[in-house]
A and B are shown apart, each in its own frame.
With several copies, the nearest count.
Chain A
């Protein structure tokens, strides 16, 4: 598995290009997850978003997730592209593609990947609201998380 199966980009993500990476003659199923910038969260309007990453570690952690997938579902092939920089409403922040011979694996592995991204990949989202900005998940007055191990992130779940 070459490293460009797991990459960050500051350009718009082309879904079809991520899908192409996982297509194989032995695959009967390809699932894709596209995480897009949602305009409203609990009635609060988002104007735009900024994603910042610890780029080298983030790509390494994405590849680690690919290894985890291979351990759990040896017949799955995954590719992940995450965008960084400024995004507008409806832009794709992440595209995850998984191929497998049988569809159950393609769904399960895909959902596993987005959950793991939200736990362990050093990427941060800054919301631009009408009345200010905030780094998601790091509002000190209301976030309590243990040190010592990765935690659950927030986002489109």
Chain B
């Protein structure tokens, strides 16, 4: 299983902060496209992504046990 985390606007639009998905073997880009289509999640394809708390890119292939987080533009500080 893959754990997917949502924050900020994405979390509010989706109405939840995480999902468990059976998407091992998918790339990040494939996951994003699927989420955008399935949940009408605006702009997720343009969002930064972290896998297991490190930034990664759209070609990264997911493995079972990974935690994926979509990271809208940060605004801390």
Contacts and interface: CB of A to CB of B under 8 A. Distances in A.
Judge A-B direct contact (beta carbons within 8 Å): yes
A58 B7 CA distance: 12
Nearest to A119: B74
A124 B72 contact: yes
Contact of A145 (B45, B46, B53): B46
Given A140-B42, A147-B47, A147-B48, A57 B73 contact: no
A17 B66 CA distance: 36
Interface stretch (A18-26, A38-46, A47-55, A70-78): A47-55
Contacts of B11: 52
Interface string A124-139: 1110000000011110
Interface in B47-73: 47-50, 53, 55, 57-58, 69, 71-73
Contact of A137 (B46, B53, B58, B75): B75
A153 B57 contact: no
Given A145-B46, A149-B55, A150-B48, A122 B73 contact: no
Contact residue range for chain B?
20 to 34
Given A54-B69, A118-B74, A155-B75, A148 B58 contact: yes
A44 to B, nearest CB: 15
Contacts of B25: none
A153 B74 CA distance: 6
A121 B57 contact: no
B14 interface: no
14 contacts: A57-B53, A58-B76, A94-B76, A114-B77, A117-B77, A118-B76, A122-B74, A124-B72, A138-B8, A138-B9, A140-B43, A147-B49, A154-B73, A155-B77
Given A52-B7, A57-B69, A125-B76, 16 more contacts: A93-B76, A118-B75, A118-B77, A122-B74, A122-B76, A125-B75, A137-B72, A137-B73, A137-B74, A137-B75, A138-B75, A147-B49, A148-B48, A150-B55, A153-B75, A155-B75
Nearest 5 interchain pairs by C-beta:
A123-B76, A137-B73, A124-B8, A136-B75, A57-B53
